[in-house]
Amino acid sequence: MLAKLFPDHYYNSIFDINLEDLKQDGIKGIILDLDNTIVARNSSVATEELKGWLQKVEAEGFKACILSNNWKQRVTGVAAQVNLPLVARAAKPRKGAFIRAMEVLGTRDDQTVVVGDQIFTDVFGGNLAGLHTILVMPMSNHEAFHTRFLRQLEKLVIKRWQKHGLHSS
């Protein structure tokens, strides 16, 4: 069960993800978490850096969508700024959320990667669904109360990674 909490890769941010490596792994679809993955939790504005990165993702032939537990109203504003489809109120880590996102992307589990900043929602849910998983560092320290609690548990999981030799890429 603990292995389901381990991502396949760990990066400082989405901008450090090696798209060429994803291509070599057969990835065609990228499921992106919203808060603290592509925008800071307390922001509803897509940065120019994010827009540029997403243009590169598209130019490399990937499809991307946003998968968020947030309300549709919040997610819709960001999705419109970056021209991405979305699945809101996803109830991650439930497997069905990730299946809905793959339906939006038109990809299979072996062709899809989940990118997020939380172990217990993004990584765990992606692993339960049989997807590739990438964990990134949160963009800001601004967190919901329940997320602050989960971050303490994440620290314990990260210590276990270090014993297994997983480090940031």
* pLDDT-based confidence at residue 140 (cuts at 50, 70, 90): low
**pLDDT confidence of residue 100:** 97
Residues 6+ positions from 37 with CB-CB distance below 8 Å:
14, 115, 116, 117, 122, 136, 138, 139
Cβ burial of 40 (10 Å; 0-12, 13-18, 19+) is: middle
Rounded-to-integer distance, Cα 30 and Cα 22, Å = 10
- What are the structural domains, with CATH classification, of the chain? 2-164 (3.40.50.1000)
Does pLDDT of 18 surpass 70? yes
State the Cα–Cα distance between residues 20 and 39, nearest whole angstrom. Answer: 23
The DSSP line for 9-39 is: EEESSGGG--HHHHHHTT--EEEE--BTTTB
**What mean pLDDT is predicted for residues 5-27?**
95
pLDDT band at 44 (very low <50, low <70, confident <90, very high): confident
Contact yes or no for 8/132 (Cβ under 8 A): yes
Q: Are 129 and 150 in contact (CB under 8 A)?
A: no
Please enumerate in sequence order all residues whose Cβ is within 8 A of that of 81, keeping only pairs 6 or more positions apart, or say none.
45, 46, 51
Give tens-digit pLDDT for 54-87: 999 999 999 999 999 988 777 899 999 999 999 9
Other Cβ atoms closer than 10 A to 70: 19
User: Closest by alpha carbon to 136, among 114, 109, 111?
Assistant: 114
Nearest by Cα to 31 from 107, 94, 83, 119: 107
Q: Are 123 and 6 in contact (CB under 8 A)?
A: yes
- Residue type (1 letter), 80: A
